[in-house]
A and B are shown apart, each in its own frame.
Chain A
Amino acid sequence: NAGVTQTPKFQVLKTGQSMTLQCAQDMNHEYMSWYRQDPGMGLRLIHYSVGAGITDQGEVPNGYNVSRSTTEDFPLRLLSAAPSQTSVYFCASSPTRRVGNTIYFGEGSWLTVV
C-alpha cells in the first residue's frame, strides 16, 4: 500500500520561481487536501478537493493553485515563490467528504525559498 505519495521530498527555490508539488493517492479517496506546517503554527489548510474537477480554498490559499483532473492526483502549484512560502507541505486524503472519515497524510515536502 503506497497510501499518499508526495514528491519531491526536498526542494530549494529562488524567489519568483514556480514549481509544482505532486501528490498521488492509490486508495480511491474522494477527498484530498493540502496543508502547510510552520514552526509553532500547527497545520493550516491551503486548498482541498471533494472530487475530480472540484476544488476550493482553505484557510491560507494565497499564492497557491490546485487542480484535480483525476481522482488520484492533486498537485499544488506555486506560481511565484516567496520566502514566506518556506514551509513543510503535507498532502492528505480521506475516503469521502463526510466528517469523521480518517484523514491520511503523506510524508511531507520540505520547501525552502531563498
Chain B
Amino acid sequence: GENVEQHPSTLSVQEGDSAVIKCTYSDSASNYFPWYKQELGKGPQLIIDIRSNVGEKKDQRIAVTLNKTAKHFSLHITETQPEDSAVYFCAADASSNSGYALNFGKGTSLLVTP
C-alpha cells in the first residue's frame, strides 16, 4: 500500500505539556485521515479524524491539522495527562473501487510523566 510515515516513534512529555505527532502520506487520492489511540492490550480506538476539505479540527484537548498540498497532517494534544499515555497511530484512506482501506503509520508511543 501507499506509505504513511509517522514521527516520532517515541515521545516523552511532562504532565501539562503539549505533544505533537506528525505524519506524511504519499497517495494524493487520500481524503480521510483518522487518528487512533491504542492502550496496552487493547484494540485501536478512533480519537479524531479529518477530511481533506478541512484544514483543522479540534475536540477538547485534541486537535488535528492537515496540509493537503504538502501531504502532511499532525495530532496535537494539549495539557497532557498520564492517561494520555498510549500508542497513537495516524492513517490515510487507501480506498479503491472494491473497498475501503486504511494505511497506517508505524505508531508513536507517548509517555506522559507526572
Contact = CB atoms under 8 A, between A and B. Distances in A.
Contact of A90 (B6, B41, B44, B49): B44
A65 B104 CA distance: 22
Interface string B46-90: 100101000000000000000000000000000000000000010
A58 interface: yes
B42 A107 contact: yes
Interface residues of A, number: 29
Contact of A42 (B34, B42, B43, B89): B89
B9 to A, nearest CB: 8
Contacts of B41: 107-108
A12 interface: no
Interface residues of B, number: 28
Interface centre among B4, B34, B36, B43 (most CB of A within 10 A): B43
B106 A58 contact: no
A59 B99 CA distance: 13
A46 B91 CA distance: 16
A69 B70 CA distance: 43
Interface centre among A56, A94, A104, A105 (most CB of B within 10 A): A105
Interface centre among B6, B36, B95, B102 (most CB of A within 10 A): B102
Contacts of A98: 100
Interface of A: 4, 31, 33, 40-45, 48, 50, 56, 58-59, 90, 92, 94, 97-108
Closest 10 CB pairs of A and B: A105-B43, A42-B104, A42-B106, A43-B104, A97-B100, A100-B32, A59-B1, A105-B44, A99-B93, A107-B43
